[in-house]
Amino acid sequence: MKFMMFVCSDAEPDTDPTELPDIHKWVAENDSRGRRLTGDALAPTSAATTVRVRGGELLVSEGPFAETAEVIVGFDLLDCADLDEAIEVARTHPMAREGRLELRPFADLPD
């Protein structure tokens, strides 16, 4: 089952002084096991552009949907057996400690 893993910043990161896991090792490990399909870091929200169409008119504006303290800084697309496996993948990501991760399964919509 596919999960979009949103990588977010967090106002209260982990205070554990031990070294953070290496992100490159995390990517290599999960790619080789077929549990991570793709992923990347995103440019800061100052680079975001919001697009809407209202009554046929295109509205383009600067900035993210909503100004919040916690922002999405990256994403990974996971392919796991179930939530427990996705949690196992997420817990070893460095941002599980420096920020927070949100696991969102793909909607199981009929074709």
Partner 1 sequence: MFTSPRRPMPTQAPAGAAAAVAAASVEAYPRIVATLIRVTGDWSLAEDCAQESLTAALERWPADGVPANPGGWLMTVARNRAIDVLRRATVERRKLHDLALLTPDEASPEPEVGQDVVDDRLRLIFTCCHPALAIEARVALTLRTVCGVPTADIARLLLVSESTMTRRLTRARTRITQAGIPYRVPSGPALTERLPGVLAVLYLLFTRGYVADGEPAFADEAVRLARLLDRLMPEQSEVAALLALFLFHHSRRDARRDAAGTLLTLHRQDRDRWDRAAIAEGLATLDRVRHDGPYAWQARIAACHATAVSVDDTDWPTIARAYDALADLRPSPVIALNRAVAHGYAYGPAVGLALLDAARAGGGLGGYPLAVAVEADLVARQGDRLRAASLFREAAAAVASTAERRALLGRADELAG
Identify which of residues 94 and 105 has a Cβ nearer to partner 1 in the complex.
105
Tell me how far the alpha carbon of residue 84 is from its chain's centroid: 17
Rounded Cα gap, residues 105 and 30, in angstroms: 18
For the segment 79-108, give every residue that binds partner 1 (CB under 8 A): 80-84, 86-87, 105, 108
What does the chain come to in residues? Answer: 111
CB of 56 to partner 1, least distance (A): 35
Name the β-bridge partners of 49.
62
Give me the residues that bind partner 1 (CB under 8 A), please. 1, 3, 80-84, 86-87, 105, 108
